[in-house]
Amino acid sequence: MQHISRIVLVSLLFSAVLLIFSFAVTKAHAQLAATPTLFCLGNESCAYETSPSPSVVTSVTLGPTTDETTTEPTITGSTSEPTTTIAPCESTESTVSVQHHHHHHHRKHSFSDFLKFLIDLINRLIEQLGGNEGTIPTPTDPCISPEPTQGEEPTAEPTTGNITTAPTGVTTVPAPTSGPSIGAAPADPAANATIKNLLSRINQYKGKFLLSGQMDGDQGQDQQAALAARNGGVYAAIHGYDWAVGGVTAGNAATYLNKMISEWNQYKVIPTVSQHWTPNSATETPPGCGVIKNSVSMTDVMNPSTAVGARYAAWKKNVGDDFQTLSAAGVPVLFRPFHEAGNSCFWWDEGTPADYVALWKDTFNYLTTTRGLHNILWVFNSNGPNVNKAFYPGDSFVDIIGGDNYTVTNGDFTNDYKGYQAFSANKPVALPEVASVPDLSKFSSYPVAYEMTWSGSFLAQANTDAQLKTFFADPRVINRSNVSKFLDGSL
């Protein structure tokens, strides 16, 4: 009987243990279901999302944080009315660091501590009975970074900052740094910093480097690619445009302007503009000496009440609008109006040299003073070196002197240089319109600022591929790839 009683007592105790064990397990699982889900905002605080029933979080959006405020995360997904509380994380380091579990964490024992101990005891019992499968995960302190396992580096938190992202495939060259002023100041007393810097760099590098240039086709065909296809893939530092398209009709130069701005922003390619147009026509006129040589009275041109005067005024306004667009974009322009002076080929030089000078000064004053455009370098372009020097508008209205030459085929422009210097010894000299690229073995005798090869048949027939490759391979020739260094004065 005593034996039976002992058996019954043991059975009752065993049943009680099982009930306690079952209750503990159930309680542990219930507690774990409500265990907080952690989201850390930098190293400032931890956000716990708790809900009465299990929830699914599909995404978390963290707003930017500052030293003054902490932005709570926006949590999206299927939840059951979660509440969010913020608990401080005690690390004050600005970077992620691994903290030992006992470091700077002192707290009172609570039911959660007892529960952690109980679950650990139960897990050990389960392991003793049959392995570790199905063990209950132990709650961890979410504000303490876990220790890395052996051989594993701690994972650093990504950093953010002021990052400038350029468009894919586009390299934007920063605006040039202005260097010291060298040589004569620009003709425009109010010229902007970009113009002052460009002219100073031209003076600084006289005889050391020259800027390469390529003219677009008469009707807008891009000749830069045609040049690069023949010279080994090199693009010129100066890109020429003709205002037969542009100026005559408002807004008709938009394609040109977009290209100029894009090439300046990406490479600092310098645009240069010339013009073929006639006030005898209200429409665009294709360039060419014979086409636009219709005689006009310069007196009528200067009188806006006449038909030709009204067209000239409209042309000035449209050119001003175009250059205003370039100015707003920070783009300088080498403006070469009324070119080939003294050729008696165009309407602007059919009269006397005094008429020509009056026309030049009127355009200069309108764009710089009336319109307030200070992004222009003014290039006087005679018809070769032997033109009547009376056509020269004067140093106060000109920045660079040059001329056309389609007869030099050996690349020696020494005589041209001397002839252009005769207009003024105070200004840089250029070759704004040539057929043949210069021969740089003689460069010391004609230290020009830049050259520009004309387009079409002149580029194709006046230069062999070997000539073009030799010229553009010379380290003294500035091209699209290093024009920004030229402008910075860092060559």
What ranges do the domains of the chain cover?
A: 2-99+110-130, 193-488
Helices and strands in the chain, H and E counts = 12, 15
User: Which is more confident, 176 or 328?
Assistant: 328
- Give the residue among 400, 368, 416, 421 at the shortest CA–CA distance from 198: 400
Q: In the predicted model, what is the mean pLDDT of residues 247-255?
A: 76
- Give the residue among 173, 171, 264 at the shortest CA–CA distance from 485: 173
Pairing of strands 74-78, 333-336: unpaired
Q: In the predicted model, what is the mean pLDDT of residues 53-77?
A: 35
Question: Which tens digits make up the pLDDT trace of 418-468?
Answer: 999 999 999 999 999 999 999 999 999 999 999 999 988 888 889 999 999
Q: In the predicted model, what is the mean pLDDT of residues 290-316?
A: 85
CB 359 within 8 A of CB 348: yes
Of the candidate ranges 127-136, 182-191, 205-214, 381-390, the one whose mean pLDDT is the lowest: 127-136
Class of CATH domain 193-488: alpha beta
Instruction: Supply 2's token pair.
Output: 């005593």
pLDDT of res. 282: 63
pTM: 0.65
What are the beta bridge partners of residue 242? 274
Q: Which span out of 74-83, 141-150, 377-386 was modeled with the highest average pLDDT?
A: 377-386
Rounded to whole angstroms, the Cα distance separating 408 from 462 reads 10
Q: Any alpha helices (H) in 402-464, and if so which ranges? A: 414-421, 457-461
CB 435 within 8 A of CB 453: yes
Q: In the predicted model, what is the mean pLDDT of residues 374-395?
A: 96
Phi/psi for 156 (5° steps) reads: -80, 145
Q: In the predicted model, what is the mean pLDDT of residues 290-306?
A: 81
- Give the residue among 403, 408, 409, 406 at the shortest CA–CA distance from 448: 403
pLDDT of res. 244: 65
Average pLDDT, the chain: 74
CB 240 within 8 A of CB 263: no
In the chain, % helix, strand, coil (3-state, to 5) comes to 35, 15, 50
Beta carbons within 8 Å of 390's beta carbon, 6+ residues apart? 353, 354, 357
Q: In the predicted model, what is the mean pLDDT of residues 267-276?
A: 94
Phi/psi for 269 (5° steps) reads: -65, 135
Rounded to whole angstroms, the Cα distance separating 468 from 471 reads 5
- Kindly tell me if the per-residue pLDDT of 145 is higher than 80: no
pLDDT of res. 11: 56
pLDDT of res. 286: 55
Beta carbons within 8 Å of 323's beta carbon, 6+ residues apart? 333, 335, 367, 371, 373, 375, 376
Of the candidate ranges 85-89, 233-237, 240-244, 309-313, the one whose mean pLDDT is the lowest: 85-89
- Kindly tell me if the per-residue pLDDT of 228 is higher than 50: yes
Exposure string of 110-139, with b = 16+ CB inside 10 Å and e = fewer, is eeeeebbebbeebbeebeeeeeeeeebeeb
Rounded to whole angstroms, the Cα distance separating 213 from 274 reads 13
pLDDT of res. 135: 43
Rounded to whole angstroms, the Cα distance separating 118 from 126 reads 12
pLDDT of res. 335: 98
Rounded to whole angstroms, the Cα distance separating 175 from 268 reads 8
- Give the residue among 115, 484, 113, 116 at the shortest CA–CA distance from 267: 484
**pLDDT band at residue 56 under the 50/70/90 scheme:** very low
Tell me the chain's radius of gyration from C-alpha atoms.
Answer: 40
**pLDDT band at residue 120 under the 50/70/90 scheme:** low
Q: Which residue carries 């080929």 as its tokens?
A: 345
Give the SS3 label for residue 103: coil
pLDDT of res. 14: 55
User: Which is more confident, 128 or 471?
Assistant: 471
**pLDDT band at residue 108 under the 50/70/90 scheme:** very low
- Kindly tell me if the per-residue pLDDT of 140 is higher than 50: no
- Kindly tell me if the per-residue pLDDT of 39 is higher than 80: no
